[in-house]
Structure formats: structure tokens, C-alpha cells
Amino acid sequence: MAHYPSELKYTKDHEWARVEDDDVVRIGITSYAVEHLGDVTLIDLPSVGTDIQAQERFGDIESVKTVSELFSPVSGEVVEVNEDLESSPEDVNEGPYEKGWLVAIKMSDPGEVARLMDAAAYEEFLTSLD
């Protein structure tokens, strides 16, 4: 059974969000997404300074099985990109909640985090998918 850290918030698109400051959120994909993708081979992420809207596509993740779009859980400006993923996309498979994070966003509306699911709600959502 996959583990979903309780301090994170989750989306129905299988992204997670970790609030790090009052207005900065680090984003990645869940272990559920990693299991369904298989071995990640390439990740296309936006540049620092890019403005992103909540629930809009901000990049792509490619695996041996498929290419999936990445959707932002919040609106704001990209302030950090995990550049290590360029040469080591497998970091997402090895640690989706640690070294496999994707981007950090300075939120334009921190209230958007309240619309995301907690770990229990995300796990409940996953049971509806099986």
C-alpha cells in the first residue's frame, strides 16, 4: 500500500502540494501516479518566473508507459524548478515526496490550498478509482 504523507495536500490529478512558507508551495506527483507511470524517463517543467493558474497544465512527465500532463494545484509564479530531474528523472520514482519534487510556486492566492484534499480524503478518492 502506498504512503501519502499527512502534511501534504492532494489533487484529483495526483499532484501533491507542501506549504513551505505562508505563500510558497512545493509540488510533485504522488506515489499512486508514480506506480501507474512506471519508470520516469523525461520531465518537461516550466522556467522560473512562469505564471501558472490553478488546475492548468504546467508541464509533462514521460515514462516507459506513457506521457502525462502535470497540473498545478495552485496559481502563482514558479520560483524554483528541480533542475536535478533533467539529468536524473528517476528521482521521481525513487522519492516522489523528497528529491522527486517538481516545482515551487509563490502563490497568488494562498486560500487555494484549502480546496485541496488532505491525505485521508485523497486515499478515499483513490478507492473510487479501483
In the chain, where the domains are located:
9-110
Ranges of beta strands (E only) in the chain are 9-10, 15-19, 24-29, 40-44, 51-52, 57-63, 67-71, 76-81, 103-107
Q: pLDDT category, 6, cuts 50, 70, 90?
A: very high
User: What is the topology classification, in CATH, of domain 9-110?
Assistant: OB fold (Dihydrolipoamide Acetyltransferase, E2P) (2.40.50)
What is the C-alpha to C-alpha distance for residues 64 and 48, in angstroms, rounded to an integer? Answer: 27
- Can you give the pLDDT at residue 56? 96
- Can you give the pLDDT at residue 21? 83
User: Residue 40: left if φ>0, alpha if ψ -120 to 50, beta else—which one?
Assistant: beta
- The 8-class DSSP code of residue 20 comes to -
Kindly report, residue by residue over 28-59, the tens digit of the pLDDT: 999 999 999 999 999 999 999 999 999 999 99
What is the C-alpha to C-alpha distance for residues 81 and 104, in angstroms, rounded to an integer? Answer: 6
Question: Considering the chain, what percentage of its residues have pLDDT values greater than 70?
Answer: 98
- Can you give the pLDDT at residue 3? 77
Q: Which three cell numbers stand for residue 112?
A: 487555494
- Can you give the pLDDT at residue 30? 97
Q: How far is CA 115 from the centre of its chain?
A: 15
Residue 1 has pLDDT above 80, yes or no: no
Residue 128 has pLDDT above 80, yes or no: yes
Kindly report, residue by residue over 94-121, the tens digit of the pLDDT: 999 999 999 999 999 999 999 999 999 9
